[in-house]
Amino acid sequence: MAKSSNSEKLYRKAEKVLAGGVSRNTVFRQPYPNYANSASGCYITDIEGIERIDFANNMAALIHGHSFPPVVDAVIEQLRKGTAYTLASEIEVAFAQHLIKRVKSFERIRFTNSGTEAVMAMIKASRAFTEKAKIAKAEGSYHGTYDFAEVSQTANPSNWGKIDRPSSVPLAHGTPVGVSKDVLIYPYNDIERTLAILDRQAGQIACVIIDPVPHRVGLVPGNDDFIRAVYDWTRRNGALMVFDEVVTFRVNYGGAQQKYTVQPDLTSLGKIIGGGFPVGAVAGRADVMKVFDPHEKSLLLPYSGTFSANPITMTAGYKAMEYFDKTAVKKLNALAQKAVSQIREVIRLADVPVSVTGAGSMFRMHLRPTPPTTYREAYQSKEVSDVVKELLDFMYYKENVLMINTFSCMLSTVMTPKEIDRLTEGLHRAFVELK
C-alpha cells in the first residue's frame, strides 16, 4: 500500500528526538506515523498534500470539525487580549453558567486541562467527600492515564481473571501495588456480579465510575437498569456514582446521562467542551464540589492547574458548545443513524461477519457477526486486530478516510451525507477486498 515518503523522512528525524518517535501512541500507523499539514471542516491534509475525510476528529474531541469559523474568530479576538492571566476571567464564569444550564446534575464546575486530570480530580473529590479510598471501575474501560484509572486497561486475556471477580491489573510497569488494591473491577452492564463485587468491599468504596458508553468495552450503552442498580447501591453504602463523560458528552445535549432515570453525583468532561483546545472539567453536586472550596475552613482538596480555565480554551469551548445546541445535536445524531444503517447494508451486501455498535454521533465496527455486549466479547485478539489494521490502512491509504484505530467513527456537525456515502462506499470496497 502506498505510504508517504515525506512522512518517512520526518519520522526518521522524530525518532531521534521524541520518545518512540511520537508524542501520542495513537498516531502511530505501521511502519511510521503519517503527518498532518493542515485541516479544515471535516477534511485533513497530510504533508504529501493528500486530503482525507476526518472521522477521527482528534479522538472524538472536535464536534464541529477543524477550524470552525465561529471558534476561530472568537479565539483570534481573545488571543489579542491575552492567553493566560493568573487572575480569574469572566469567560470561565459564563462558560460554567452555560454548562450548568445544560445538564441537570451539574451544580458546580471546576475546569482542568485534560480528561485524565478531570477523572483524577473526580476520584480525589469522591475520596475527600466520602473519606474512603477505594474506587470501582468497569473491566477494560479507558479513563485516561491516572494510575488508579488505568487499572484493568490491560488487554491481555491471561490477566483477566474470573468474570465473577475480574482482576485488578495495573497497566504501567512500576505502578505501586497499593494502587490495584484500591481499585475494584466490575463487569459492565452485569448487575448481579457487579453488586456482589461491590458488596465484598462495602463501606470502603468512595465512588463507582461509569462511562455511559465505554469505547473499549465495545461502545455499548449502559442500560438503565444497570445504572439504577449501581446508583441504589451507592445510596445504601455511602458511595458516589460518578460518570466519565469525557467522550460521551457529545451523545445528547445534556450528555449521555440525559437519558437515564438517575443522575450521577459527579461527571468528568473533556474533549468537545474545549472547542479544539486542551480541556477537562469536573461537574456535579454542590455539596460534593465543596471539597474544592478554598473558603472552607478545613479545605478538603486543594486543587489547581496553571492553565486551568485559561481564556483561550474557555472562549473556544463556550463558542463550540453554544453552536452544539439541541438542533445541531439532533441533526448530527440523525446523520450518524443514517451512516449506521448504510454500513449495515454494506455489511449485508459484502456478506461479511461484521457488526456495529454506538450511540449518538459515534459508532464502532466489530469483526463479529453479532454486536458485543461485554468487554470480553469486544476484545480483539491479535488475529482480529491485524485484520482491523488492514481495513484501517485500506480506508486510509486507498479511500482517503481517517478513522479511529478501534475501527470507530466520531462525526462532526460539518459533515454531510456526501461524506457518509464516501465512508460507506469505501467500507464496501474494503470488506470485499479483504474478505
Just list the catalytic residues: 142, 244, 271
Place of cell 474545549: 274
User: For residues 7 and 380, which CB has a smaller minimum distance to ligand PLP in the complex?
Assistant: 380
Closest residue to ligand PLP: CB criterion: 115
User: In 3D, which of 311, 280, 237, 308 has the Cα closest to residue 146?
Assistant: 280
Yes or no: say if 197 and 163 are a contact pair by the CB < 8 Å rule.
Answer: no
- Shortest spacing between CB 401 and ligand PLP, in angstroms: 21
Position 270 contacts ligand PLP (CB under 6 A): yes
Single-letter code of the amino acid located at 317: G
Binding mask 287-306 for ligand PLP (x = CB under 6 A): --------------------
Rg from Cα positions in the chain: 22
- Shortest spacing between CB 214 and ligand PLP, in angstroms: 7
DSSP for 340-363, please give it: HHHHHHHHHHHT---EEEEETTEE
Piece of 29-37, 222-230, 239-247, 417-425 that binds ligand PLP (CB under 6 A): 239-247
CA–CA separation, 229 and 421 (whole Å): 41
Number of residues near ligand PLP (by CB under 6 A): 14
Q: In this structure, are strands 43-46 and 108-112 parallel, antiparallel, or unpaired?
A: unpaired
- Shortest spacing between CB 247 and ligand PLP, in angstroms: 4
* One residue of 247, 312, 314, 347 binding ligand PLP per CB under 6 A: 247
CA–CA separation, 147 and 118 (whole Å): 13
Helix (H) / strand (E) element for 268: namely: strand 266-270
DSSP-derived letter for residue 379 is: P
Position 142 contacts ligand PLP (CB under 6 A): yes
User: In 3D, which of 161, 149, 231, 167 has the Cα closest to residue 195?
Assistant: 231
Position 115 contacts ligand PLP (CB under 6 A): yes
Position 143 contacts ligand PLP (CB under 6 A): yes
CA–CA separation, 27 and 11 (whole Å): 12
Site for ligand PLP in 82-101 (CB under 6 A): none
Q: Is 381 left (phi over 0), alpha (psi -120 to 50) or beta?
A: beta
The Cα-based distances of 291 to 47, 61, 135 in angstroms read: 48, 28, 18
- Shortest spacing between CB 59 and ligand PLP, in angstroms: 6
- Shortest spacing between CB 119 and ligand PLP, in angstroms: 5
Position 119 contacts ligand PLP (CB under 6 A): yes
- Shortest spacing between CB 215 and ligand PLP, in angstroms: 6
* One residue of 211, 265, 399, 419 binding ligand PLP per CB under 6 A: 211
User: For residues 42 and 256, which CB has a smaller minimum distance to ligand PLP in the complex?
Assistant: 256
Piece of 78-86, 98-106, 138-146, 295-303 that binds ligand PLP (CB under 6 A): 138-146
Piece of 15-23, 38-46, 66-74, 136-144 that binds ligand PLP (CB under 6 A): 136-144
Position 116 contacts ligand PLP (CB under 6 A): yes
Piece of 142-150, 258-266, 317-325, 371-379 that binds ligand PLP (CB under 6 A): 142-150
Position 281 contacts ligand PLP (CB under 6 A): no
Site for ligand PLP in 47-86 (CB under 6 A): 59
Single-letter code of the amino acid located at 21: G
Site for ligand PLP in 374-403 (CB under 6 A): none
CA–CA separation, 211 and 141 (whole Å): 8
User: For residues 269 and 340, which CB has a smaller minimum distance to ligand PLP in the complex?
Assistant: 269
CA–CA separation, 405 and 270 (whole Å): 20
Count other Cβ atoms within 10 Å, centred on residue 287: 11
Piece of 38-46, 154-162, 243-251, 302-310 that binds ligand PLP (CB under 6 A): 243-251
- Shortest spacing between CB 192 and ligand PLP, in angstroms: 25
CA–CA separation, 216 and 139 (whole Å): 9
User: For residues 11 and 243, which CB has a smaller minimum distance to ligand PLP in the complex?
Assistant: 243
CA–CA separation, 330 and 253 (whole Å): 9
- Shortest spacing between CB 397 and ligand PLP, in angstroms: 25
- Long-range contacts formed by 153-157: CB under 8 A, 24+ apart: 153/216, 155/379, 157/376, 157/379
Supply 168's cell numbers.
485488578
Angle between helices 382-393 and 417-434 (to 10 degrees): 130
- Shortest spacing between CB 116 and ligand PLP, in angstroms: 3
Binding site for ligand PLP (CB under 6 A): 59, 114-116, 119, 142-144, 211, 215, 244, 246-247, 270
